[in-house]
Amino acid sequence: MPVTNADLAAAFGQIADLLELQQANPFRIRAYRKAARVVSELRLDVATHLAAGKPLPKLPGIGKDLGAKVAEFAATGHIALLDRLQRELPAGIADLLALPGLGPKRVRVLYDELHVHSLPQLLRAARDGRIRTLHGFGVRTEEKIAKAIEQHLGQVRRFKLATAAQYAAAVAAYLRRAPGVGDVIAAGSLRRCRDTVGDVDMLATSTDGGAVCGWLARYPDVAEVLASGPTRASVLLRADLQVDLRVVPPASHGAALLYFTGSKAHNIRLRNLALERGLKLNEYGLWRGREQLAGATEEDVYAALGLPWIPPELREDRGEIEAAAHGGLPSLVTRADLRGDLHVHTKWSDGTATIEAMAAAARERGLGYIAVSEHSRRLAVAHGLDPVRLAKQRGEIESVNARLHGISVLAGIEVDVLEDGSLDLPDEVLAPLDIVVAAVHSQFHLPRAVQTRRILAALDNPHVRILAHPLGRLIDQREPYDVDLLAVVRKCRERNVALELNAHPERLDLTDVGCRMARDEGVLVAINSDAHGVHQFDNLDLGVGQARRGWLEPAQVLNARPLPELRRWLDRD
């Protein structure tokens, strides 16, 4: 049974939730939550690594006991502890735990007081007004729960980009072992780097499509075969992710890849271009009558329509076809363009590695500088730094810089923006730092005007150089706060402040639309990993994908600049 890091992280997260429902030892619960986070953010394929006979690498928070459970899950797809915990509680409890904003503590109260253990039961309790009678809930919470359930029951599940990519990579690797198969590639919203993915579209080339479709139907992770025929197949994985496979002959590979990458709006525009020329475009090629003019490659299809190849991330019908027709496509930023990372955490706050270890890991990934930007004192849960500890950390940064070669460490801070727009640390503490990153970590539900004034006031502080995760969203967990983003972007332009594109897979904030807005308004964007451990610099790939969707070029990305140029920008009056 194929096992991905996402599967393992989900299993550890479920164990933590179920242990919390049983009011187990808090330290044990936190250990499983930390393990889930560490594994979910790890690019190394743990199951494949262990299957090759290699030892589990040293990972923060994963000792002998949890390491054994990692090996158990990698080998069997199960963890005995999780199986036992699931048997001890009603099956529907997992659905309650999956509801946004409803954690184990509240689920425990609902289960104990109202005896609900399924979403329909909870929805009935909300509509009957019974939830508001519980301590710590109230009318507003009851309304939010009802709305969340209705949305959950009525929506198709979407997966975070990083999670869907793991499942897609495993399926693609399996399909490449099918007899007679040629190219195999993931298309759809995954290839376009959308921040969430509804299902995975796979494209393969073969002269025997039925054999390849049958091969997919036998994939060990399949929970249900929805369809399987001579050219297409659809399956549902155990993770509830649907995979749709299309098999075409090599002569149609490019046309099919273009078609199944989408977006629908982009494809419609291309088909209309073809019709204007008396041609027909479909997934098998570009045709004049029965003559195939192009189809083997995407480049051939675009060229036959009088266009240069358009990168997948741009294919949303947001002006890319017009830009292509007039030679105005952007030269999009790539991962290789990034010279550094300006938002990194260490053991000084809530990170898992030392400053030196983080710097060495960044250097291994081709970066020339990092900025250590710990949380400030207001964020006590993250062990934020006060002025005394911040000064001590600056001393350690100087020491690390003296020892390390090939990378420079800048001294920074991720300072909290308070409700009135002031900052969590005084100006005299911020002034000596190389970089100040301002961030909203509280009061997410302020009215739009109030939230906007708050952020604009913070941007007026002369020491602020970057606004972190500007919308404050956590994908599937917390909606963006209500703010006038255009006003914020224009204030950043006025104050010469960069907006962050936080590449953490749960954030991807700025959104692609926000990136495009920053580009159009002439505001720099910093693509930062928000790394809390040595493996999380790999998240920069996700940020680059989002930046490309926002039409960003290297010149518009702050940390695509070499260090001397970055320092000149930072040293502005």
Q: pLDDT tens digits, residue range 93-142?
A: 777 887 877 888 888 888 888 888 778 788 888 888 899 999 888 898 88
**Minimal CA–CA distance to 438: which of 448, 427, 450, 446?**
427
Given a cut of 70, is residue 169 above it in pLDDT? yes
Whether residue 191 has pLDDT greater than 80:
yes
Q: What mean pLDDT is reported for the chain?
A: 93
Residue 471: predicted pLDDT = 95
Other beta carbons within 10 Å of 366: 12
Q: Which two tokens stand for residue 353?
A: 């590695």
Q: What is the pTM of this model?
A: 0.84
pLDDT range class, residue 265, cuts 50, 70, 90: very high
Q: Are 161 and 196 in contact (CB under 8 A)?
A: yes
Architecture of domain 335-570 in this structure = Alpha-Beta Barrel (3.20)
CA distances to 25, 153, 175, 551 from 466, in Å:
40, 39, 44, 20
- Give me the helix-helix angle, 264-276 and 253-261, nearest 10°: 130
**pLDDT at residue 91, as a whole number:** 65
Integer-rounded Cα Rg, in Å, for the chain is 25
- Interatomic CA distance for residues 211 and 230, integer angstroms: 8
Domains of the chain by residue range: 5-154, 160-325, 335-570
What is the pLDDT averaged over residues 357-379? 96
Residue 263 CA to residue 188 CA, distance in Å, equals 7
Per-residue confidence (pLDDT) for residue 155, from 0 to 100 = 61
Report the alpha-carbon distance of residue 255 to residue 288 in Å, rounded: 14
pLDDT of amino acid 291 = 95
Q: What is the three-class DSSP state of 108?
A: helix
Can you tell me the distance from the alpha carbon of 451 to that of 312, in angstroms, rounded to the nearest whole number?
35
Which of 469-489 are b and which e, b meaning 16 or more Cβ less than 10 Å from the residue's Cβ? Answer: bbbbbebeeeebbbbbbeebb
| Percent of the residues in the chain that have a pLDDT greater than 70, as a whole number | 98
Q: Does domain 160-325 have CATH number 3.30.460.10?
A: yes
Cross-strand bridge partners of residue 526: 500
Cα torsion through 219, 221, 223, 227, rounded to 10:
-30
- Is there a contact between 527 and 543 (Cβ–Cβ < 8 Å)? yes
Give the span between the Cα atoms of 256 and 254, in whole angstroms.
5
Fold of 5-154: DNA polymerase; domain 1 (1.10.150)
For residue 573, give both structure tokens: 């009056």
pLDDT in tens, 494-540: 999 999 999 999 999 999 999 999 999 999 999 999 999 999 999 99
Res 51: pLDDT: 86
Q: Name every residue whose Cβ is closer than 8 Å to that of residue 333 and which is 6 or more positions away in sequence.
A: 527, 544, 547, 548, 552, 553, 554, 556, 557, 560
The rounded distance, in Å, linking the Cα atoms of 243 and 229 is 14
**How many CB atoms are closer than 10 A to CB 51?**
12
DSSP letters spanning 469-497: STT--BTTTBPPP---HHHHHHHHHHHT-
